[in-house]
């Protein structure tokens, strides 16, 4: 599912997400989630954020960001993950590819993002970044979103390198090319 994520007024951004809310498996997962909820909806161990916090396209398109506000929101990896899940830029939940049960969000200090999806009985493990815009890179969510912001605002490469604090021009060029595609 392709949708427009507006980071600024200059240029809309197209990002690829795989979440399809009408898919039967997605429906099943939301039923599992609500069955686990008592009273006020809360994120459980099968979700990054509560289902009711996931934004629709209209809500996302109403947002506008500046470099400083975006950077602040994404500074902490856990907060960045929630920010991205709310905007459907990463999956909020995942079903096991083997047994179809909801995967748990598990802490894993040895991996870059600090968490991954896991179905222990099946030994099924998936990256938080799977099937997302972020899958191709080891840069932090923060740095990637800032790169996308800089591209979407037509920042020159030198300005982008300085603002995002990236030492390699190659990385900036690669991401700008990727955004253009
Ligand atoms: Zn499983």
- Residue extents of the structural domains in the chain: 2-132
Q: What pLDDT is recorded for position 7?
A: 54
Q: For residue 45, report the distance from its CA to the centre of ligand 1, in Å.
A: 15
Q: For residue 109, report the distance from its CA to the centre of ligand 1, in Å.
A: 22
Q: For residue 118, report the distance from its CA to the centre of ligand 1, in Å.
A: 8
Q: Are 91 and 82 in contact (CB under 8 A)?
A: no
Handedness of CA 143, 12, 151, 135 (dihedral sign): positive
1: part of which helix (H) or strand (E)?
none
Q: What pLDDT is recorded for position 136?
A: 80
Q: For residue 86, report the distance from its CA to the centre of ligand 1, in Å.
A: 25
Q: Are 85 and 49 in contact (CB under 8 A)?
A: yes
Radius of gyration of the chain (CA): 17
Q: Are 179 and 13 in contact (CB under 8 A)?
A: yes
Distances in Å between the Cα of 160 and the Cα atoms of 68, 72, 86, 129 are 13, 17, 26, 23
Walk along the chain (181 residues) and give the pLDDT tens digit of each residue. 333 444 544 444 444 333 333 344 444 444 444 444 444 455 578 999 999 999 888 888 788 888 899 999 999 999 999 999 998 889 999 999 999 999 999 998 888 889 999 999 999 999 999 888 888 888 999 999 999 888 888 899 999 999 999 999 999 999 888 887 7
Q: Is the pTM of this model over 0.85?
A: no
Owner of token pair 């939301």: 30
């Amino acid at each position: 599912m392709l949708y427009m994520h507006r980071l600024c007024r200059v240029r809309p951004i197209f990002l690829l997400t795989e979440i399809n809310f009408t898919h039967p498996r997605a429906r099943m997962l939301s039923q599992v989630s609500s069955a686990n909820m008592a009273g006020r909806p809360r994120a459980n161990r099968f979700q990054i954020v509560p289902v009711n916090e996931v934004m629709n396209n209209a809500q996302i398109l109403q947002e506008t960001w500046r470099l400083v506000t975006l950077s602040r929101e994404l500074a902490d990896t856990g907060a960045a993950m929630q920010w991205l899940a709310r905007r459907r830029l990463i999956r909020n939940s995942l079903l096991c590819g083997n047994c179809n049960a909801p995967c748990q969000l598990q802490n894993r200090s040895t991996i870059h993002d600090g968490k991954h999806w896991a179905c222990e009985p099946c030994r099924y493990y998936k990256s938080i970044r799977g099937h997302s815009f972020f899958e191709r890179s080891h840069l932090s969510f923060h740095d990637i979103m800032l790169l996308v912001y800089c591209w979407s605002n037509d920042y020159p490469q030198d300005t982008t390198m300085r603002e995002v604090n990236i030492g390699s021009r190659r990385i900036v060029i690669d991401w700008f090319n990727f955004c253009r595609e």
